[in-house]
Amino acid sequence: MISAGDFRNGVTIEYDGDIYIIIDFQHVKPGKGAAFVRTKLKNLKSGAVFEKTFRPSEKMEKAHIERKDMQYLYSDGELYHFMDVESFDQMALNENQLEGALKFVKENDMVKILSHKNLVFGVEPALFAELKIIETEPGFKGDTATGATKSATVETGATVNVPLFVEIGTVIKVDTRTGEYLGRV
């Protein structure tokens, strides 16, 4: 059990029969009245985000999320297929369960499958990905002084803003949480 006074970002709780992750919280102590905790919760099954206030003494069950390493195999258009590298068991997930998590994941990359009580609800990619640029505008000599960026498409089909000197065929490092260019490899 966890009390609302102990909430932190990233904590998962069971509330009203669903699993939520705390995106943001704020302890509020008004001049009059009792203190309360204002939270922003994300439903891990549906993806819906809403705000809720709790009394600091309210207790909830802490949800234990299982993270299992699996290899992304391929997509057949509707389903995305994953394999457990230890037991070779395969599983397929639909787009609703992924929520765009595979934007920077190539075939055969390792990901973490997130589940709660054997119900899979999401995929967590590695924090960083090394991807090849397949399409971008050419950079011009002398344009680098301003620190300007241009749009580039990587091999997974995602778009990343990169510096002007990056060309087609360059392998770059990308932060998968923000989609931010981190450098050349």
Return the minimum-mean-pLDDT range out of 99-103, 131-135, 157-161, 170-174.
99-103
Tokens at 178, concatenated: 């923000």
Q: Whose CA is closest to 126, among 45, 48, 72, 181?
A: 72
pLDDT at position 185: 85
Length of the chain: 185
Please report, rounded to a whole number, the percentage of residues in the chain having pLDDT higher than 70.
96
Domain architecture of the chain: domains with CATH = 2-62 (2.30.30.30), 66-125 (2.40.50.140), 128-184 (2.40.50.140)
